[in-house]
Amino acid sequence: MKAVHFGAGNIGRGFIGPVLSRSGYNVCFVGRNKRKIAELQKRGQYPVTLANENRDKFIVDNVTAINLNDTEKVAEAIADAELVTTAVGVSALKDIAGTIARGIELRLSQSGTPQPLHIIACENGIGGSQRLRKSVYRHLRPDVIKRADRIVAFPNTMVDRIVPVQKHADPLAVMVEPFSEWIVPRSGMIGDYNEIEGVRYVDSLDPYLERKLFTVNTGHCSAAYFGYLEGYTSLQEAMSDPVIRSRVYGVLQETGAMLVHLYGFDPAQHEKYIKKMMERFANRNFKDKVSRVARSPLRKLSPNERLVRPALKAHELGFETSHLVSAIASALLYENNDDPEAVSLQMAIRSSGIEKVVSDELGIPAEHPLHSRIVEEYFNTCVKYQHKAGLGFETLTDSLSPSAISDNP
């Protein structure tokens, strides 16, 4: 069995590669980093270390790699594979879509009956694979799309494993947390397919995806944004601060009430889930950077994502949202010159004002009650943190409108 995986990054090498290899796939990584590609081609394997007390190690074998720029080679690999997976980041899906489209064309042009192909975008967020499908199909003619639809499926998915940014002498080595979960809905699959060992196939993805996105990812980024304002640089530092821990717990109580209501989770089981997830954020057997977990704040603050979507839903259901509002306000204050989205966010706040950013980027109209609460919390947080976390007073006051300053002395 052959799988082509786009992105030889942290989750690609730390989770998707190991699961597929263990399940009997020959895994071909498609990447951009020449050194990693050369090492994967030469060695055909790499080591994974678990972030547990014993630092247990295992080897992922039966792997190889192709450079993303070798479009024809990648297309040939796709034409010959049962499975294509990605972990490049949602916003990069459009960049690999043309190559995947070329692989589909090649597969359809081969002699004999073309075999089913599953293409799974293992990215955080809602509807990742369907989003990829849209991008891929933009590169195909209508007649090809018609034929592709009979053999190609793009099941959405949920993947969960914390894999921090890696720093090892060996460019392929990766350290991952012991916990992992990968869910695929049966309804998204096509034809006779081999179940991937280590993947759980379920009837409906939504409860698993939303539970993960609005617990693991909402809690995780809340800890990162709260931690950033306190001057912490790692999740481990942030989670060892009792005030931040309790604020993150507060956020997860709010998303929890909504999830229990929407999906009928047992409240006691969900409470256990929340506590277990918080322990994962705090795992002291590795160090996860605030800058990784807080990365791409515009994406994280977008309407369908981990902060705004649960806040709007919880509000609509009449549940408490004050901790979520506070997490959103903290995210709006995230500054990092190495993160292009953080730079754009701060530029947008400075040039257009916070009110417009909340309307345009978060998709919350000015007349929605959450709009003014977020803006007010943003100003209060500005005032509270203006001398902390290395944030320049000037930067913060630049974004305060005169009325806001007089309202929030």
Ligand X SMILES: O=P(O)(O)OC[C@@H](O)[C@@H](O)[C@H](O)[C@H](O)CO
Ligand Y SMILES: NC(=O)c1ccc[n+]([C@@H]2O[C@H](COP(=O)([O-])OP(=O)(O)OC[C@H]3O[C@@H](n4cnc5c(N)ncnc54)[C@H](O)[C@@H]3O)[C@@H](O)[C@H]2O)c1
Residue positions forming the annotated binding site for NAD(+): 3-14
**224 close to 183: Cβ distance less than 8 angstroms:** no
CB of 165 to ligand Y, least distance (A): 7
**Member of 293, 301, 354, 404 binding ligand X (CB under 6 A):** 293
Q: How far is it, in rounded angstroms, from Cα 312 to Cα 181? A: 27
Q: How far is it, in rounded angstroms, from Cα 74 to Cα 72? A: 5
Q: What is the DSSP string of 302-369?
A: STTSTTHHHHHHHHHTT---HHHHHHHHHHHT---TT-HHHHHHHHHHHHH-HHHHHHHTS---TTSH
Q: What is the DSSP string of 72-105?
A: HHHHHHHHT-SEEEE-S-GGGHHHHHHHHHHHHH
CB of 133 to ligand Y, least distance (A): 16
Q: How far is it, in rounded angstroms, from Cα 112 to Cα 326? A: 58
Quick one: 103 or 297, whose CB is closer to ligand X?
297
Q: Work out whether strand 57-61 and strand 63-67 pair parallel, antiparallel, or are unpaired.
A: unpaired
**Does residue 220 touch ligand X according to CB under 6 A?**
yes
**Does residue 122 touch ligand X according to CB under 6 A?**
no
DSSP 8-class letter at 233? -
SS3 196: coil
* Residue 68's binding partner out of ligand Y, ligand X, none, with CB under 5 to 8 Å set by partner kind: ligand Y
**141 close to 107: Cβ distance less than 8 angstroms:** no
Q: How far is it, in rounded angstroms, from Cα 30 to Cα 74? A: 7
**Quick one: which segment of 93-101, 293-301, 329-337, 362-370 binds ligand X (CB under 6 A)?**
293-301
**Does residue 13 touch ligand X according to CB under 6 A?**
no
**Does residue 341 touch ligand X according to CB under 6 A?**
no
Quick one: 286 or 319, whose CB is closer to ligand Y?
286
CB of 45 to ligand Y, least distance (A): 18
**Does residue 217 touch ligand X according to CB under 6 A?**
yes
Quick one: 124 or 321, whose CB is closer to ligand X?
124
Quick one: 162 or 364, whose CB is closer to ligand X?
162
CB of 88 to ligand Y, least distance (A): 4
How many residues belong to the site for ligand X (CB under 6 A)? Answer: 11
CB of 291 to ligand X, least distance (A): 10
Those residues whose C-beta lies under 8 Å from the C-beta of residue 360, and which sit 6 or more positions away, are: 348, 352
Cα-based distances in Å from 241 to 11, 244, 285, 336: 27, 5, 17, 22
- 344, two tokens: 């754009």
**Member of 39, 105, 160, 377 binding ligand X (CB under 6 A):** 160
Phi, psi of 280 (to 5 degrees): -65, -45
In the chain, % helix, strand, coil (3-state, to 5) comes to 55, 15, 35
* Residue 12's binding partner out of ligand Y, ligand X, none, with CB under 5 to 8 Å set by partner kind: ligand Y
Binding residues (CB under 6 A) for ligand Y: these are: 7-12, 31-32, 68, 87-90, 92, 95-96, 123-124, 159, 161-163
**Member of 49, 85, 86, 124 binding ligand X (CB under 6 A):** 124
**Member of 20, 126, 205, 216 binding ligand X (CB under 6 A):** 216
DSSP 8-class letter at 212? I
**Does residue 296 touch ligand X according to CB under 6 A?**
yes
Residue nearest to ligand Y (CB): 9
**Does residue 327 touch ligand X according to CB under 6 A?**
no
* Residue 40's binding partner out of ligand X, ligand Y, none, with CB under 5 to 8 Å set by partner kind: none
**Does residue 162 touch ligand X according to CB under 6 A?**
yes
Quick one: 38 or 405, whose CB is closer to ligand Y?
38
Binding site for ligand X (CB under 6 A): 124, 160-162, 216-217, 220-221, 293, 295-296
